Structure 1
Amino acid sequence: MTTPWGEVGLTRYPVDPRDQLRAWDAADTYLLKHLAESGTDLTGAVAVVGDRWGALGTALTGSAGCAPTLISDSYLGQQATYANLERNGHGGATLLTTREAPPERVDVLLVRVPKSLALLEDQLHRLRPAVHEGTVVVGTGMVKEIHTSTLNLFERIIGPTRTSLAERKARLIFATPDRSRTPGPNPWPHRYELPDDIGVLAGRTVVNHAGVFCAERLDIGTRFLLGHLPPRTGAARIVDLGCGNGVVGTSAALTEPDAEVVFTDESFQAVASAEATYAANAGERPGKADFRIGDGLAGLAPGSVDLVLNNPPFHSHQATTDATAFRMFTQAREALRPGGELWVVGNRHLGYHLKLRRLFGNSELVASDPKFVVLKAVKRS
């Protein structure tokens, strides 16, 4: 990526030579160009929120005198950032998660607009106390990512807001801090009760931190999977892979009270949600619950799992891809014991049965409706 301070080499994480997606886009380069051309002072307290693969952090850390704080909800994004900083010989950046306390003072606040409006709302609320009248606040995103609702959040929480002209389908957001504004309390996390037809979870409470998929209601894919989970199997170790708010793993925990249930996701907000959902519903059960931030099942020993439950994503930010699902299926096969099972829900058109047959040598249709399928694959050896 070419920046005003030179070129930087960037990759996504995990590195895959077959991956054709770049680790930056026009929104990143537009923001960096603006900072250089406007002469923004980057020697103070700079905070960058939502830097996807470390493009902004790597470029800014390479500029004179800049030691930014980089705040991210993504474990994979943070790993990419660490690798990209090291690759380019740039030190001095501080990496925080969205669950950690933000800096007490911010002189320059740079926001890569996330896909989730809720996550943007939560992070602006959390950072507002650190913003002062002289803080430079600039957001960036592709045109299709910035909506009236996006601008309204900046306006309500930070202050008067305007946008730039579009450049290469990217746009900037400029907000002027107004400390007299009273945006009200941060509404996150959000809680809701499940309907009465969700099996062992009927009427129970779900806790969602901002940015978690379908944070204000149960999504229809997860609902379909909950209606077709395996009955009691005597499984000793169950994994909710890509756990989100943890409803699938919590359902499994209540069904198999003596099993260890592992909740894993690459989102810090998701794992915090899963912990809260589990604690609200199954915290007194005898079996153990393990909550892990990471790259899917990469941290589990091979052949150590009896059952994997998975509702895989098919988007990486704005890109539609099945690479994440295929990686999850591959990790599941490695982690399962012989005879262990992977249960997957997905849209019918995604063709997951083909990938499962390729990896496991088998795929069974458990249930289907006009939109979704639930598939089971068994590790034979």
Structure 2
Amino acid sequence: MSADTNLFDTPFGGFSLHRYPPRKKGGQAPLRAWDAADEYLLHWLHDNQDLDVANNRSLICNDAFGALSLALHHLHPVNQGDSWLAHRACQENLAHNGMSGDNVVCIDSLTTPEQTLALVVIKVPKTLALLEDQLYRLRPRITENTCVVAAGMTKNIHTSTLKLFESIIGPTRTSLAKKKARLIFCQPQPQQWQHQSPYPSYYTLENSGYRIGNHANVFSRANLDIGTRLMLEHMNALPGADDIIDLGCGNGLLGLMAKARQPESRVGFFDESYMALASARENLQNALGPDALNDCQFLANNCLEGVATASADLVLNNPPFHQGNVVGDHIAWQMFQDARRVLKPGGQLWVIGNRHLNYHTKLKKLFGNCRVQGSNRKFVVLVTTCRT
């Protein structure tokens, strides 16, 4: 990819932006690190707003790769989101452009900004529940004088999206569409605020009695998804393991049930979602007691980056097949490669996936072996063994 392709030209200056993580094969992913909604929003802010905002009184939500944070870095904004990868991308792009990382304060989706906000900029996320929770969390830090403006591609902005802004924050209107992007303007009306966030939500895990909690951005937060159910049905066949990893843990059910079966094991929960890790920690503590946390760790990370080679006996994996709105198998492939590196000789990787994704082909190529542990019409549980 040429350098020009990475140049993000804005009214606030030009920036060289890259997606994170980069593809390990074939160089940089052939997608830009920004979209037309970022461009539309920055042009509107430049033309319509007095941006003489005191440090840390502007908030940017869901900035995927730092495009908004870099363009508005002079405001010393707070960058809030649920993605560790997005925060890492922002910091990498700041450094790549010779800008201090201190210009942007990154906080997770469960942390409330410290100051009353004058400006709130939101990229509409893929998950409507995440947006709902974020809007509720914003309310303690905004007033009727706060400028709240959101942006997204038109395909991601629906009547339900606008109703959330309207019901949680205040009167809402939209802009005309430009390049398939649209802006949302919302006028806070604190005097009319009533309801509180419905998250986290809970359900009772079948055949266990465990009360499972899920923050807003957790996959299948209302009930047990059918892929995980299939994996749980076969966990009595898990090999004995001292060190277990739940990779892409979500709400932590796989790691939790492995720990319940092997109480002396050490379990690492890895995910890029802060809400997923918070859910996994809460679920483990509620199900197995606070002492269970002593042998476990919960790490926001890029798959298993930085984890010691040949340090795990067993990796459990329910890989996602998208990063934001981009669908593909590149995340699964990275997870499989990382699992092979961190497994000890003789260690096993257990994978649950949709049958049509053909993960067995990738696993055989990488490990030299793969067997079917269980399957149904839609999902398959695959097991591979690390030979070296």
TM-score normalised by the shorter chain: which range applies? over 0.9
SS across alignment from 2:363? helix
Structure 2 residue 213 is matched with structure 1 residue 207: yes
1:11 alignment partner in structure 2: 18
1:79 alignment partner in structure 2: 88
SS across alignment from 2:380? strand
Moved more, 214-223 or 229-238: 229-238
CA distance in 1, matches of 2:355, 2:301: 28
Structure 2 residue 376 is matched with structure 1 residue 364: no
* CA contact 1:232–1:255 (8 Å) conserved in 2: no
Q: How does 1:221-370 map to 2 (within 5 A)?
A: 221-283=227-289, 284-285=291-292, 288-370=295-377
CA distance in 2, matches of 1:165, 1:183: 30
CA distance in 2, matches of 1:269, 1:167: 33
CA distance in 1, matches of 2:265, 2:294: 5
CA distance in 2, matches of 1:188, 1:102: 19
SS across alignment from 1:222? helix
1:219 alignment partner in structure 2: 225
CA distance in 2, matches of 1:366, 1:152: 45
Structure 2 residue 387 is matched with structure 1 residue 380: yes
Moved more, 83-92 or 25-34: 83-92
CA distance in 2, matches of 1:167, 1:325: 34
CA gap 1:40/1:145 in 2 versus in 1, 3 angstroms: farther
SS across alignment from 1:27? helix
- 1:145-190 deviations in Å (ceiling 9; x for gaps): 1111111111111100011111111111110111111231222111
CA distance in 2, matches of 1:40, 1:170: 23
Structure 2 residue 77 is matched with structure 1 residue 68: yes
Shift of residue 126 of structure 1?
A: 1.1
Where in structure 2 are there 5+ consecutive unaligned residues? 1-7
SS across alignment from 2:193? coil
SS across alignment from 1:297? coil
The TM-score with structure 1 as length reference comes to: 0.94
SS across alignment from 1:21? coil
CA distance in 1, matches of 2:136, 2:304: 33
Higher helix share: 2
- 1:185-213 deviations in Å (ceiling 9; x for gaps): 222111111123xxxxx221111111111
Structure 2 residue 48 is matched with structure 1 residue 38: yes
* CA contact 2:53–2:118 (8 Å) conserved in 1: no
Q: CA RMSD in A?
A: 1.5
* CA contact 1:232–1:256 (8 Å) conserved in 2: no
CA distance in 2, matches of 1:236, 1:94: 38
* CA contact 2:309–2:343 (8 Å) conserved in 1: yes
1:172 alignment partner in structure 2: 183
- 1:286-320 deviations in Å (ceiling 9; x for gaps): 97111111112113210010110000000111111
* CA contact 1:136–1:176 (8 Å) conserved in 2: yes
Structure 2 residue 71 is matched with structure 1 residue 59: yes
CA distance in 1, matches of 2:82, 2:293: 31
Please point out which of 149, 152, 173 is paired with 2:160. 149
CA distance in 2, matches of 1:85, 1:287: 36
Structure 1 runs (4+) greater than 6 angstroms displaced: none
